[in-house]
């Protein structure tokens, strides 16, 4: 169970106003961003039938018991990979495995418990995997929470969205880096969101202690993840880690994220539900991640997502990179702060 304590720092009125504003942010609106990197775009109609054989490859998928994480695990197992689903709830994990095996009877899939909002749990998972796995060929940093109305904190005292969506994955990546380096073609895919376009890394109030806006905190966490994906690629190249880092976002997909976050009865939830038939299914939302994780043509350091309707849905393409995510100096500072906060350390020739 996630160890979370409540700290009442937002009024219902402010949350509702923020929710209505964020609806335009997350489900549409105009991006204040730069153009996508000049790289070749994926085939627009790429789908799971195009996944090359993953036989002999080992993947770790966080949040793989439902939504897009489940679809990632299912597709990878169907392509022959050995898949480890890492999530909080063992019962949901076993149910997910049973569903995957209904579709793929010989699927190699297992469950490992982890709470990304508890760094002790992340370290314990890393220790288990480093003992039991020969290597890791792919890590999909997928798990997320979105916009809880009241500010909550993790077991380590961090704002819950920053902890779950970013810091937990930062620490997990460091923990399993030795396994990734044993692979001859390791990939790390970190999930971001179109919300990252409105995000800002507020080093003066990183934990939203002075003022908590649930949607701003969500956007910050997703921008942090996107910056991490790019910085991980830069450092892998500089340090010779031999891994490839990618970022992806699903557009807007119909998952449990809204129900578990702002709630279906919130102003945001009601507006989202009204248009939900227009959005991606979890399987459609997972395609950008699966492309980054498996496609031979996928390019390290790239950001993939749907290419239509302000990137909320549509065929697979290159995602637009927010201007803030291009700031290498801020990304390096965020990396250093994240190491200090989590205690995680990546190998460096400078140390």
Question: Is 345:74 a contact under the CB 8 Å cutoff?
Answer: no
Question: Is 101:15 a contact under the CB 8 Å cutoff?
Answer: no
Q: Is residue 143 part of a domain?
A: yes
Quote the tokens at residue 29: 């609106």
Q: Which domain holds residue 229?
A: 5-342
**Nearest one of 321, 232, 316 to 47, comparing CA atoms:** 316
Q: Give the C-alpha separation, 72 to 85, whole Å.
A: 10
* CATH number of residue 186's parent domain: 3.40.50.720
Q: Give the C-alpha separation, 234 to 252, whole Å.
A: 28
Q: Mean pLDDT throughout 183-191?
A: 98
| Residues involved in catalysis | 218
pLDDT of residue 253: 61
pLDDT in tens, 190-230: 999 999 999 999 999 999 999 999 999 999 999 999 999 99
Question: Is 304:292 a contact under the CB 8 Å cutoff?
Answer: yes
Q: Mean pLDDT throughout 83-108?
A: 98
Give the H/E segment covering residue 161. Answer: helix 160-161
Cα-based torsion angle of the residue sequence 237, 239, 243, 246 in order, rounded to the nearest 10 degrees: -50
Q: How many CA atoms lie less than 13 Å away from 8 in the CB half-sphere? A: 2
Q: Is residue 351 part of a domain?
A: no
pLDDT in tens, 255-299: 556 556 555 566 555 565 556 556 667 889 999 999 999 999 999
What does the radius of gyration of the chain's CA atoms come to, in whole angstroms? 19
Q: Report residue 159 CA to chain centroid gap.
A: 17
Question: Is 122:172 a contact under the CB 8 Å cutoff?
Answer: yes
pLDDT in tens, 147-168: 899 999 999 999 999 999 999 9
Q: Mean pLDDT throughout 24-40?
A: 41
Q: Is residue 347 part of a domain?
A: no
236, exposed or middle or buried, with CB in 10 Å at 0-12, 13-18, 19+? buried
Q: Is residue 87 part of a domain?
A: yes
pLDDT in tens, 106-137: 999 999 999 999 999 999 999 999 999 999 99
Q: Give the C-alpha separation, 93 to 85, whole Å.
A: 7
Q: Is residue 350 part of a domain?
A: no
Task: Look at the chain and report how many structural domains it folds into.
Answer: 1
Q: Is residue 349 part of a domain?
A: no
3-class secondary structure, 291: helix
pLDDT of residue 10: 39
Strand partners, 246: 189
pLDDT in tens, 299-343: 999 999 999 877 778 899 999 999 999 999 999 999 999 999 999
Give the H/E segment covering residue 58. Answer: strand 58-62
Q: Is residue 170 part of a domain?
A: yes
Q: Is residue 310 part of a domain?
A: yes
Q: Give the C-alpha separation, 327 to 315, whole Å.
A: 28
E strands, 166-324, are 186-191, 243-248, 303-308, 313-318
């Amino acid at each position: 169970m996630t160890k979370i304590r409540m700290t009442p720092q937002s009024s219902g009125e402010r949350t509702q106003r923020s929710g209505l504003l964020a609806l335009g942010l997350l489900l549409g609106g105009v991006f204040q961003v730069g153009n996508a990197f000049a790289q070749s775009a994926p085939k627009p109609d790429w789908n799971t039938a195009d996944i090359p054989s993953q036989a002999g490859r080992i993947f770790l998928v966080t949040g793989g018991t439902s939504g897009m994480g489940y679809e990632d695990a299912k597709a990878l197992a169907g392509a022959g990979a050995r898949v480890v689903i890492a999530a909080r709830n063992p019962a949901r994990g076993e149910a997910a495995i049973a569903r995957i095996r209904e579709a793929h009877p010989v699927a190699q899939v297992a469950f490992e418990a982890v709470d990304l909002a508890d760094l002790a749990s992340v370290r314990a998972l890393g220790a288990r995997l480093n003992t039991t796995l020969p290597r890791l060929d792919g890590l999909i940093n997928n798990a997320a929470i979105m916009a809880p109305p009241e500010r909550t904190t993790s077991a380590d005292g961090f704002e819950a969205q920053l902890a779950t969506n970013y810091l937990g994955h930062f620490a997990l990546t460091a923990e399993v880096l030795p396994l990734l380096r044993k692979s001859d073609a390791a990939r790390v895919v970190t999930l971001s969101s179109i919300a990252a376009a409105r995000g800002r890394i507020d080093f003066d109030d990183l934990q939203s202690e002075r003022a908590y806006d649930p949607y701003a905190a969500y956007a910050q966490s997703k921008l942090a993840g996107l910056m991490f994906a790019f910085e991980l690629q830069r450092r892998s190249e500089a340090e010779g880690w031999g891994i490839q880092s990618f970022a992806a976002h699903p557009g807007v997909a119909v998952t449990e994220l809204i129900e578990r976050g702002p709630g279906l009865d919130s102003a945001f939830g009601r507006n989202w539900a009204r248009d939900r038939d227009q959005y991606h299914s979890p399987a459609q939302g997972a395609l950008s991640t699966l492309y980054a994780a498996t496609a031979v043509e996928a390019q390290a350091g790239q950001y993939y997502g749907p290419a239509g309707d302000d990137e909320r849905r549509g065929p697979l393409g290159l995602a637009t990179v927010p201007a803030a995510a291009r700031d290498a100096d801020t990304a390096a500072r965020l990396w250093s702060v994240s190491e200090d906060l989590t205690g995680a350390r990546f190998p460096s020739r400078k140390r």
